[in-house]
Amino acid sequence: MQEKPKVLIVGKVRERVAERLEGEVELVRCSAALEPGKLAPGIAEGIRGVAVSGSFDAAAIGCLPNLQIIANFGVGYDGVDVGAAAARGIVVTNTPDVLNDEVADTAIALLLNTVRRFPEAETWLREGRWERTGAFPLSKLSLRGRSVGIYGLGRIGLEIARRLEGFGVSISYHTRSRREEAPYVYHPTLIGMAEAVDTLIAIVPKTPETYKTIDAGVLVALGPNGVLINVGRGWTVDEEALAAALEAGTIAAAGLDVFQDEPHVPGALLAAPNTCLLPHVASASVATRDAMADLVADNLLTWFRTGRPLTPVPETPVGG
């Protein structure tokens, strides 16, 4: 009988991944920080696949001499050193598309909550202030008449745009390359788009090029009626500049699902009255996380059965 391939589950990965792999592969587990010498002698050499949710750096990759595939739980694979993987001919896979709707729904919910302050209104009711004090104050901001610019019109950005169509707002976008088929106004620069809109929704990946691109200048361009929503990565926003802009009234409000140094949230953003903050929950429903887990498992299983993964990232080879 042929030996089952060994798959290493690194740190906490949704248990459904292991359940799906059970019986098909030999499972090995290790803590999130895989360092040389951490696995028992003889184990590292046998590992051919890895399932990970979070960080898997060059040192970790270096621990596994016969690694063939790294299956990342999440569409954003910035925690995996794809350069180190590609240099060794190791395939990296992610979980695109299965979370588009959930994340786009979250972006819209966060936008409405930020603009209309519904979480605060609910707190007002729960604290008995409606009964004691009276009606919750009118929200100064509204979605009516807004002009929304989407920074990143990829799989998720496009779903956000489609949902926004139903809200009767004007929609434009900024990406490096224009999407000819998209019926929205294209802006070749982020600053140009920020000048043209009053609402900015960020849904770009964490790459060297997107680092702190939403900076003081972009916030000034957005203007005093400006609203920033970020459901991509905290890395993209200069959080100090954002806190200062919120305090000074340079922009009106911000809704954030992601932060630079999670789970730490800067005190200035917590203290600001005009922020709506979520603990990175955009894809966090059971159904969507299960679909992501299935795609992680299916990438590994298909790789071992056919030598081709289902959803490789563009930077790594598609073996064959």
In whole angstroms, how far apart are CA 287 and each of 4, 19, 99, 283, 297? Answer: 29, 16, 9, 9, 15
Secondary-structure percent of the chain, ordered helix, strand, coil, rounded to 5: 35, 20, 45
- Establish whether 132 is a catalytic residue: no
CB of 135 to ligand NDP, least distance (A): 33
DSSP annotation of 272 reads -
76 scored as a contact of ligand NDP (CB under 6 A): yes
When binding is defined by CB under 6 A, the residue of 13, 99, 194, 214 that contacts ligand NDP is: 99
Per-residue binding string, ligand NDP, 170-189, x by CB under 6 A, is ----xxxx------------
231 scored as a contact of ligand NDP (CB under 6 A): yes
Q: Helix (H, G, I), strand (E, B), or coil: what is residue 186?
A: strand
When binding is defined by CB under 6 A, the residue of 8, 47, 75, 254 that contacts ligand NDP is: 75
264 scored as a contact of ligand NDP (CB under 6 A): no
**Catalytic entry in 22, 262, 305, 315:** 262
d(CA 280, CA 257): 5
In which element (H, E) is residue 109 found? helix 100-116
In which element (H, E) is residue 69 found? strand 69-72
- Establish whether 179 is a catalytic residue: no
User: By Cβ distance, which residue is nearest to ligand NDP?
Assistant: 154
Cis peptide leading into residue 263 (ω within 30°): yes
The nearer residue to ligand NDP, 63 or 99, going by C-beta atoms, is 99
Which residues in 121-140 contact ligand NDP (CB under 6 A)?
A: none
In whole angstroms, how far apart are CA 108 and each of 122, 167, 283? Answer: 18, 10, 13
CB of 245 to ligand NDP, least distance (A): 21
Per-residue binding string, ligand NDP, 193-212, x by CB under 6 A, is ----------xxxxx-xx--
Instruction: Give the catalytic positions in this structure.
Output: 233, 262, 280
